[in-house]
């Protein structure tokens, strides 16, 4: 029972982490290697708001941090990526460099050691099917499911969401219908960054804010996206459940150290067997040489 | 309003040296050979120039290791179209293999380095094999993961010396051997790679980058070409790692450090992608800079990243192509 409960929690965590990455990739085709950096940046911003500005209420700090992260994401696109759009090598290098700059800059700015923690939303824990689960994790699952539903509704019933999907499906046709491609890309990066910040705010209270988490988040997000099929939403959620349970099982039966190995093995197996991922059917011809 | 336009015209000297005239006068020969000779002689003279500064003499070695890594990145990215975000993977594998051969199996140093280079390259190629039949960002993703993964595995399993690393590797007999092994090999690899990419096979590799379907249509196996390219690039990178392990007489997880991934990329972007020589020159600029900035700690990486992004966005041709243009052409403003 414990395995199932924690498996579900872990899976929702992973999908929260990777939603931002997959959103950006599916819409603007930019692999956002700065994803993990934005995650840590947002957590650190919340910490600053709470600890350096005394009396800043926690919910407000969270909203401000997520908003700032979204702005940073949008600025990365507006100032840098817009000039190198379509040059794949440059895109990868530029986003990777921005991510590294943010992460190592934070490390240099004093983000070291285990002193940076965020308070949980609600303290305490509850017994669920005779497994002790703290409220924070329950909130993660609840909010995570709510986020999936929200994104589903947002991309299908609002004008911006439909524009985003239009660009994702066929950029030229969408442009012909008057959708501004650069504007949607900026919006997608802003939303993607906000999602990664959102995930950070939810997940970081469970541990310390450390720079290494940024790299791990990036890697797990990429692993989930590759396995689910780059740019496929349903695939992302399914894949996060696959990896989430695989990780919990290895943790229970082998050792915690193998979490990363599981992710990499999953990527390699996916690439060998079905490179377009679980749900990436229409792209199968595109990916293979 | 009058509009002006910049016009670029080849220098007469350049046009003359393209034909048989090239060997008809010293001036033309010098025009052709000058830059190459300057580089070779300059590089060989470096250890003597810094004779009085022992600290900087050690920096020279590291600088050339980065030059090798940059060379391998440039080759992969601009001739084959594979972006390798994990140069540290190559150095780490090379260094650990060399340590295994030298310390565990007792090979002498001159056997350990070549063996480590070849087996390391084979190992790297094998690790990267799954993502080679694919297009897109997969190669970048997988190379990004490997250095982190290997660090974790070595830490967690406590194999190969764990966090302490493997000590007691043989050093080089003296400083000059230390310098000239790497210097001569950088020159060797540089000119060999230039030749390699201008052969038929280089043309095929560029075809793989630009239009893989046409390569396939010509009856050439794309994956095999990519495997070959990755093997050559890892050969260069693994040699750098093995050399470094013997230079420090120590191998540890710091050979998988981020510096080995990001500095070569920055060097290539600054030096000018696709010129090979630009990669080497870029690392000659960046590595001394990094030594000067040593006091800043991890802030150095931030500086590289900002320089890197600035170059990508504002001067994507890089220094080398800019200098080549100035060397071969003159510019003037003309009325439109």
Query: Do the Cβ atoms of B134 and A88 come within 8 Å?
Result: no
Do the domain assignments include residue B187? yes
Q: Where are the alpha helices (DSSP H) in chain B?
A: 12-18, 26-49, 54-74, 87-99, 109-128, 138-157, 175-198, 200-210, 212-217, 222-248, 259-271, 277-292, 299-314, 318-328
Q: Check whether B191 has a pLDDT greater than 80.
A: yes
Higher pLDDT, A287 or B164: B164
Which of A98, A101, A271 minimises the CB distance to B138?
A271
Do the domain assignments include residue B75? yes
CB within 8 A of A103, min separation 6: which ones?
A36, A37, A40, A211, A214, A215
Do the domain assignments include residue B44? no
Q: Check whether B237 has a pLDDT greater than 50.
A: yes
The pLDDT tens digits of the residues spanning B204-234 come to 999 888 888 888 888 998 889 999 999 999 9
What's the pLDDT at B125?
92
Closest-CA distance, A263 to chain B, in angstroms, reads 10
CA distances from A233 to A24, A145, A185, A228, B325 (A): 11, 14, 17, 8, 47
The mean pLDDT value for B286-300 works out to 82
Higher pLDDT, A124 or A58: A58
Query: Do the Cβ atoms of B299 and A104 come within 8 Å?
Result: yes
Give the position of tokens 């070595």: B154
φ and ψ of A175, to 5 deg: -65, -35
What's the pLDDT at A113?
65
Which of B134, B155, B305 minimises the CB distance to A98?
B305
Residues 19-38 of A with CB under 8 A from B: 31, 33
- Output the average pLDDT for chain B: 86
The pLDDT tens digits of the residues spanning B21-32 come to 667 778 888 888
What's the pLDDT at A54?
67
Q: Check whether A96 has a pLDDT greater than 80.
A: yes
The pLDDT tens digits of the residues spanning A60-83 come to 888 888 898 899 888 888 888 888
- Percentage of chain B beyond pLDDT 90 is 17
Q: How far apart are CA B283 and CA B262, in angstroms?
A: 11
The mean pLDDT value for A147-162 works out to 85
Query: Do the Cβ atoms of B134 and A268 come within 8 Å?
Result: no
Do the domain assignments include residue B152? yes
Q: Check whether B319 has a pLDDT greater than 80.
A: yes
| Nearest C-alpha in A relative to B268 | A93
Query: Do the Cβ atoms of B156 and A257 come within 8 Å?
Result: yes
Give the position of tokens 């005239």: B21
Which of A89, A107, A264 minimises the CB distance to B298?
A107
* Least confident interval from B11-25, B266-280, B281-295: B11-25
Q: Report DSSP state, residue B294.
A: G
**Residue A281 binned pLDDT confidence (cut-offs 50, 70, 90):** low
The pLDDT tens digits of the residues spanning B86-127 come to 889 999 999 999 988 888 888 888 888 899 999 999 999 998
Query: Any idea what the CATH number is for the domain that residue B224 is in?
Result: 1.10.3470
Chain B residues in contact with A261 (beta carbon < 8 A): 149, 152-153
For chains A and B, what is the number of CB pairs under 8 angstroms? 137
| Nearest C-alpha in B relative to A267 | B142
CA–centroid distance for B245 within its chain = 18
| Nearest C-alpha in B relative to A224 | B141
Q: How far apart are CA A67 and CA A31, in angstroms?
A: 21
Do the domain assignments include residue B69? yes
Do the domain assignments include residue B140? yes
Closest-CA distance, A94 to chain B, in angstroms, reads 6
Give the position of tokens 């099929």: A229
- Model pTM score: 0.86
- Percentage of chain B beyond pLDDT 70 is 99
Which is it for strands B4-10 and A125-128: parallel, antiparallel or unpaired? unpaired
Residues paired with residue A117 on neighbouring β-strands, in sequence order = A208
φ and ψ of A160, to 5 deg: -65, -45
What's the pLDDT at A184?
85
Which of B258, B304, B312 minimises the CB distance to A90?
B312
The mean pLDDT value for A229-248 works out to 81
Query: Do the Cβ atoms of A92 and B157 come within 8 Å?
Result: no
What's the pLDDT at B228?
92
Looking at the structure of chain B, the number of domains it has is: 1
Chain A residues in contact with B135 (beta carbon < 8 A): 286-289
- Percentage of chain A beyond pLDDT 70 is 90
Chain A residues in contact with B157 (beta carbon < 8 A): 257
| Nearest C-alpha in A relative to B317 | A90
Residues 36-75 of B with CB under 8 A from A: none
Closest-CA distance, B326 to chain A, in angstroms, reads 25
CB within 8 A of A219, min separation 6: which ones?
A36, A260, A263, B144, B145, B148
Instruction: For residue B145, give the nearest of A262, A107, A126, A168 by alpha carbon.
Output: A262
The pLDDT tens digits of the residues spanning B48-66 come to 888 887 788 888 888 999 9
Tell which of B77, B80, B130 to mutate to test the A interface (max A CBs under 10 Å): B130
What's the pLDDT at A285?
45
What's the pLDDT at A114?
63
Closest-CA distance, B145 to chain A, in angstroms, reads 7
| Nearest C-alpha in A relative to B314 | A83
Which of A105, A261, A263 minimises the CB distance to B302?
A105
Q: Check whether A120 has a pLDDT greater than 60.
A: yes
Do the domain assignments include residue B288? yes
Give the position of tokens 């894949």: A239
Residues paired with residue A208 on neighbouring β-strands, in sequence order = A117
At CB < 8 A and 24+ separation, what contacts does B160-167 make?
B160/B96, B160/B99, B160/B100, B160/B251, B161/B99, B161/B251, B161/B252, B163/B252, B163/B253, B164/B252, B165/B250, B165/B251, B165/B252, B165/B253, B165/B254, B166/B96, B166/B99, B166/B100, B166/B103, B166/B250, B166/B251, B166/B252, B167/B249, B167/B250
Tell which of A77, A89, A229, A262 to mutate to test the B interface (max B CBs under 10 Å): A89
Q: Check whether A217 has a pLDDT greater than 80.
A: yes
Closest-CA distance, A261 to chain B, in angstroms, reads 7
Structural domains in chain A? 2-287 (1.10.3470)
The mean pLDDT value for A34-42 works out to 88
CB within 8 A of B91, min separation 6: which ones?
B65, B69, B237, B238, B240, B241, B244, B255, B256, B260
- Percentage of chain A beyond pLDDT 90 is 1
Query: Do the Cβ atoms of A93 and B258 come within 8 Å?
Result: no
Which of B78, B212, B301 minimises the CB distance to A289?
B212
Residue span of the structural domain in which B162 resides:
55-323
Which of B135, B301, B309 minimises the CB distance to A104?
B301
Which of A79, A100, A260 minimises the CB distance to B301?
A100
Chain A residues in contact with B266 (beta carbon < 8 A): 97
Query: Do the Cβ atoms of B83 and A93 come within 8 Å?
Result: yes
Q: How far apart are CA B5 and CA A227, in angstroms?
A: 52
Query: Do the Cβ atoms of B152 and A261 come within 8 Å?
Result: yes
Extract the tokens encoding A233.
């939403």
| Nearest C-alpha in A relative to B128 | A268
ipTM: 0.79
What's the pLDDT at A283?
55
Q: Is A122 on the interface with B (CB under 8 A)?
A: no
Give the position of tokens 């290539």: B268
Do the domain assignments include residue B231? yes
CB within 8 A of A212, min separation 6: which ones?
none
**Which of helix, strand or coil describes residue B252?**
coil
**Residue A286 binned pLDDT confidence (cut-offs 50, 70, 90):** low
Closest-CA distance, A103 to chain B, in angstroms, reads 8
Q: How far apart are CA A158 and CA A160, in angstroms?
A: 6
CB within 8 A of A270, min separation 6: which ones?
A226, A227, A277, A278
Query: Do the Cβ atoms of B137 and A31 come within 8 Å?
Result: yes
């Amino acid at each position: 029972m414990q395995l199932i409960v924690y498996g579900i929690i872990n899976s929702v965590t992973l999908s929260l982490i990777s939603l931002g990455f997959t959103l950006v990739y599916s819409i603007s085709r930019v692999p956002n290697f700065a994803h993990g950096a934005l995650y840590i940046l947002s957590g650190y911003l919340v910490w600053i708001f709470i600890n350096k500005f005394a009396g800043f209420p926690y919910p407000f700090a969270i909203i401000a941090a997520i908003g700032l992260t979204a702005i940073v994401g949008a600025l990365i696109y507006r100032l840098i990526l817009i000039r190198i759009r379509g040059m794949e090598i440059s895109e990868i290098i530029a986003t990777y460099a921005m991510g590294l700059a943010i992460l190592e800059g934070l490390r240099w700015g004093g983000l070291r050691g285990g002193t940076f923690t965020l308070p949980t939303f609600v303290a305490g824990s509850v017994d669920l099917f005779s497994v002790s689960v703290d409220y924070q994790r329950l909130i993660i699952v609840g909010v995570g499911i709510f986020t999936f539903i929200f994104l589903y509704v947002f991309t299908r019933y609002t004008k911006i969401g439909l524009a985003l999907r239009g660009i994702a499906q066929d950029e030229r046709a969408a442009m012909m219908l008057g959708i501004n491609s650069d504007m949607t890309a900026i919006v997608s990066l802003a939303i993607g960054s906000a999602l990664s910040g959102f995930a950070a705010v939810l997940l970081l209270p469970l541990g310390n804010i450390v720079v290494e988490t940024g790299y791990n988040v990036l890697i797990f997000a990429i692993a989930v996206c590759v396995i689910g099929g780059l740019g496929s939403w349903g695939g992302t959620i399914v894949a996060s459940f696959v990896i989430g349970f695989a990780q919990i099982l290895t943790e229970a039966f082998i050792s915690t150290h193998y979490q990363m190995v599981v992710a990499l093995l999953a990527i390699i197996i996916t690439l060998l067997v079905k490179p377009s991922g679980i749900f990436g059917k229409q792209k199968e011809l595109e990916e293979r040489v | 309003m009058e509009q002006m336009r910049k016009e670029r015209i080849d220098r007469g000297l350049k046009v003359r040296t393209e034909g048989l005239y090239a060997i008809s006068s010293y001036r033309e020969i010098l025009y052709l050979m000058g830059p190459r000779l300057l580089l070779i002689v300059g590089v060989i003279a470096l250890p003597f120039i810094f004779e009085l500064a022992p600290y900087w003499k050690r920096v020279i070695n590291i600088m050339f290791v980065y030059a090798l890594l940059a060379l391998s990145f440039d080759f992969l990215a601009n001739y084959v179209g594979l972006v390798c975000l994990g140069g540290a993977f190559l150095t780490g594998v090379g260094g650990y293999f060399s340590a295994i051969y030298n310390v565990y199996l007792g090979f002498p140093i001159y056997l350990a380095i070549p063996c480590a280079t070849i087996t390391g390259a084979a190992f790297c190629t094998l690790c990267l094999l799954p993502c080679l039949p694919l297009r897109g960002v997969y190669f970048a993703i997988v190379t990004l993961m490997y250095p982190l993964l290997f660090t974790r595995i070595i830490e967690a399993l406590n194999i190969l010396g764990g966090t302490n690393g493997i000590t007691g590797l043989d050093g080089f007999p003296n400083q000059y051997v230390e310098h000239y092994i790497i210097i001569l090999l950088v020159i060797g690899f540089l000119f060999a790679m230039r030749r390699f990419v201008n052969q038929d096979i280089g043309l095929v590799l560029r075809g793989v980058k630009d239009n893989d379907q046409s390569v396939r249509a010509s009856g050439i196996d794309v994956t095999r070409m990519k495997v070959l390219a990755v093997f050559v690039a890892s050969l260069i990178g693994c040699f750098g790692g093995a050399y470094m392990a013997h230079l420090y007489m120590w191998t540890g997880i710091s050979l998988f450090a981020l510096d080995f991934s990001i500095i070569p990329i920055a060097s290539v972007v600054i030096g000018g992608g696709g010129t090979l020589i630009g990669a080497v020159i870029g690392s000659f600029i960046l590595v001394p800079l990094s030594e000067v900035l040593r006091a800043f700690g991890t802030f150095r990486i931030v500086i590289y990243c900002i320089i890197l992004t600035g170059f990508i966005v504002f001067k994507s041709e890089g220094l080398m192509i800019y200098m080549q243009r100035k060397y071969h052409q003159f510019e003037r403003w003309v009325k439109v």
